[in-house]
Amino acid sequence: MRTPLIAGNWKLQPPTRAEARVLAAAVVSGTRGLAGREVVLAPPFVMLTTVADAVVDSLVRLAGQNLYWENSGAFTGEISGPMLVDTGCQHVLVGHSERRQIFGETDYAVAKKVGAADACGLGSILCVGETLEQRDSGDAMLVIEKQVRRGLVELTTEGLSRLVIAYEPVWAIGTGRTASPDQAQQVHAGIREIIREVASSEVAESMRILYGGSVKPGNIDELMACPDVDGALVGGASLQADDFLRIIHFQES
């Protein structure tokens, strides 16, 4: 019912366009003929056109790692939704934990960005998740519910059909720790219930919810066996073609 989506967030890597081209080409080659999966690559902005050329006529799609909510203007250093669309993007990451934690993005800013992405036809991959302190205090779902509800306030009904949510426990990113399948399933089911309340049962059942906390070849199968885990937002493992392809080709139970 929900087509699994595997997204690779390259963050501030690789360092050169040549390396980006080789990595993207390897992903294209390794997914040729693949059915029943969707694959997305989110390279740094300066590599978007390079990767766009590399994935032409393949099932691999392109995403921006961020955007600003205005289409143009005196906003030095920013990039707009129409610019992303012009480079070939179909998706954009919004509210990634590193944007929230390092760059101080608020729920207000995230909502504005989701609305801007929707306005130009981009599907947002809305990232939500709790810190270790919030989890240990028992506030994980309260934090996540607030992020989800506030993140959707400027989204249209049509935009909901393009929206993907990525649950990324902040305490598991880059630490080697991973939420257990039971923990991931519990949060994903909770997010789906929030969407049911905010939108409808139909929207909730069709929306894809990705897991994004230290996804590796060694844990993807058990994560994808969870009924409410519809894919993965992959960080470091997406920079190694063999690892990323193993994740893409997860073994269904």
Per the structure, the complete domain to which residue 184 belongs is given by 5-248
In the chain, the number of structural domains is 1
**For the whole model, what pTM was predicted?**
0.96
Active-site residue (options: 96, 105, 154, 188):
96
Please give the pLDDT value at position 61: 98
Please give the pLDDT value at position 179: 84
Residue 145 annotated as catalytic: no
- What lies within 8 Å, CB to CB, of 152 at 6+ separation is 111, 114, 126, 160, 163, 198
Active-site residue (options: 130, 154, 168, 188):
168
Instruction: In whole angstroms, give the CA distance from residue 180 to residue 244.
Output: 20
**Residue ranges of the chain with pLDDT lower than 70?**
253
Please give the pLDDT value at position 145: 98
Please give the pLDDT value at position 252: 79
Instruction: In whole angstroms, give the CA distance from residue 155 to residue 207.
Output: 14
Residue 98 annotated as catalytic: no
* CATH number, position 200: 3.20.20.70
Please give the pLDDT value at position 253: 61
In a domain, 194, yes or no: yes
**Termini Cα distance of the chain:** 16
Give the number of C-alpha atoms closer than 13 A to the C-alpha of residue 253, restricted to the C-beta side. 9
In a domain, 253, yes or no: no
- Cα dihedral sign for 48, 53, 55, 61? positive
- pLDDT one-digit tens code per residue, 130-181: 998 899 899 999 999 999 999 999 998 888 999 999 999 998 877 777 789 9
Is 185 in contact with 227 (CB distance < 8 Å)? yes
